[in-house]
Amino acid sequence: MIEAFGIGKTFRSNGSEIHALRDVSLSVRDGEFVSIAGRSGSGKTTLLNVLSTLMRPDSGTIRYDGRDAASMDARELDALRKNEIAMVFQFHYLLPYLTAIENVALPFMDSMIPVSRDRTDHAMRCLSRVGLKGKEHRLPGQLSGGEQQRVAIARALVTSAKILFADEPTGSLDKGTGREIMELIRGFTDDGLSVVMVTHDREYASVADRVVSMEDGRIVV
């Protein structure tokens, strides 16, 4: 379970201040699918980045299963990102020189110890689950945009994380492919995965268990 209280974040640029988040509080239960909707500049992506530990808030606290993120050192934060948090971005951010299966297994490639057979098989199953069986050894450049995003989703799933943060995961896809991706993500919550997704598309947002709307750095609904 993730709980955020009184989150504030201000960006300073050229002497001016942008209050991206103002006293935001949000909690996500295990297995819950929460959509954060809002117009461009409403602060939804900043909230996602703060919740996913990519960005530190200026004020407020975030707890992951009761552990305060602000009190974690670099090693604990790395471990949290590695074992409990998964991320999918609008742009897939696949490593172009690794094959699909290698991109999926990338989270396991963080040491000199070769990725085990079990983990490789698990990565294969994740790829199959997103419908890419038979395309394991293709490079990202040999896959379509939708397929690349599926690889990115499989990569997010491979570590058995507890919560998936998705930032406009359908933003660069056509409507049909976008719906397929949404169905995929929706299906993962059945396995107990929590999902926090940012989208400006009301149709996709409605797939979630709960929709949170943001405006001017505040949650309005």
Partner 1 sequence: MNILTIPFRNIRRKPAKTLLLLLVFTLGVVSIVSLVSFSRVARHSLEQKLWAFGPNILVFPKIEQIRLSYGGMNAGNVTTDVRFLDERAVLAGIDAIPNRGNVRAVSPKLVTVAAMTVPGKASASGADSNVGVVGVLWDREKLIKNYWMPQGRYPETEEELLAGHAVAARLGLKPGDRVGLFGREMLVSGVLEPTGSDDDGVVFGNLALVQENAGRRGKLNFLEVAAICAGCPIGDIVDQMRAAVPDAEITAMMNVVEQRMYSLDFVSNLILAVSLIILFIACAMVGLSMMSQVNDRKREIGLLRSMGFSKGRVFQIVCFEGFLLGVAAGGIGYTIGFVASEKILGALRMLEDASLTFEPAHLAIACGVFGLVSTASSLLPAWKASRIEPSEALVSI
Q: Does 76 bind partner 1 (CB under 8 A)?
A: no
Taking the C-alpha atoms of residue 2 and residue 35, their distance in angstroms, rounded to an integer, is 14
Q: In the complex, what is the shortest distance from the CB of residue 176 to partner 1, in angstroms, rounded to a whole number?
A: 26
Among 14, 16, 71, 111, binds partner 1 (CB under 8 A): 111
Taking the C-alpha atoms of residue 197 and residue 87, their distance in angstroms, rounded to an integer, is 10
Instruction: Pick the closest to residue 89 from 138, 48, 140, 40 (CA basis).
Output: 48
Site string for partner 1, 156-195 (x = CB under 8 A): ---x------------------------------------
Q: In the complex, what is the shortest distance from the CB of residue 71 to partner 1, in angstroms, rounded to a whole number?
A: 18
Among 17, 71, 74, 191, binds partner 1 (CB under 8 A): 74
Give 18's strand partners. Answer: 11
Q: Does 15 bind partner 1 (CB under 8 A)?
A: no
Q: Does 114 bind partner 1 (CB under 8 A)?
A: yes
Q: In the complex, what is the shortest distance from the CB of residue 114 to partner 1, in angstroms, rounded to a whole number?
A: 5
Taking the C-alpha atoms of residue 46 and residue 27, their distance in angstroms, rounded to an integer, is 16
Taking the C-alpha atoms of residue 90 and residue 94, their distance in angstroms, rounded to an integer, is 12
Chain residues 24-53 in contact with partner 1, contact rule CB under 8 A: 45-46, 49, 52
Question: String of b and e for 51-71 (b: at least 16 CB within 10 Å)?
Answer: bbbebebeebebebeeeebee
Q: Are residues 1 and 177 in contact, defined by beta-carbon separation less than 8 angstroms?
A: no
Q: Which chain residues interact with partner 1 by CB under 8 A?
A: 11, 18, 20, 45-46, 49, 52, 54-55, 74-75, 78-83, 87, 89, 93, 95-98, 102, 105-115, 120, 159
